[in-house]
């Protein structure tokens, strides 16, 4: 456990591609650790995630006409 430091924000963004579980849909799962983060930093991180998620969705739409289930 790291000591809480308001100067630092540890935001971890992990993108997991799960080819075996959703072969044709290419599922994305984002894990964000909000510890030590200010509201603005968390918001910025989610905007970044949304941007990448949209890019993946657009790319998949071009390749396949399959719906993608959003994961909360």
Which contacts qualify for 29-33: CB closer than 8 Å, 24 or more apart? 29/71, 30/71
Question: Taking the model in full, what pTM does it have?
Answer: 0.35
Give per-residue pLDDT as tens, 27-42: 444 444 555 566 777 6
Number of H helices, E strands in the chain: 1, 2
Which contacts qualify for 13-17: CB closer than 8 Å, 24 or more apart? 13/45, 13/48, 13/49, 15/52
Cβ neighbours around 32 below 10 Å, total: 15
Q: What is the DSSP letter of 6?
A: T
Give per-residue pLDDT as tens, 36-72: 566 777 677 777 766 766 776 676 667 665 555 555 5
């Amino acid at each position: 456990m790291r000591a809480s430091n308001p100067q630092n924000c540890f935001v971890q963004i992990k993108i997991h591609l799960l080819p075996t579980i959703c072969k044709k849909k290419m599922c994305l799962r984002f894990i964000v650790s909000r510890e030590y983060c200010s509201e603005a930093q968390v918001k910025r991180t989610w905007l970044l995630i949304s941007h990448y998620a949209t890019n993946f969705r657009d790319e998949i739409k071009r390749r396949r006409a399959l719906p993608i289930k959003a994961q909360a």
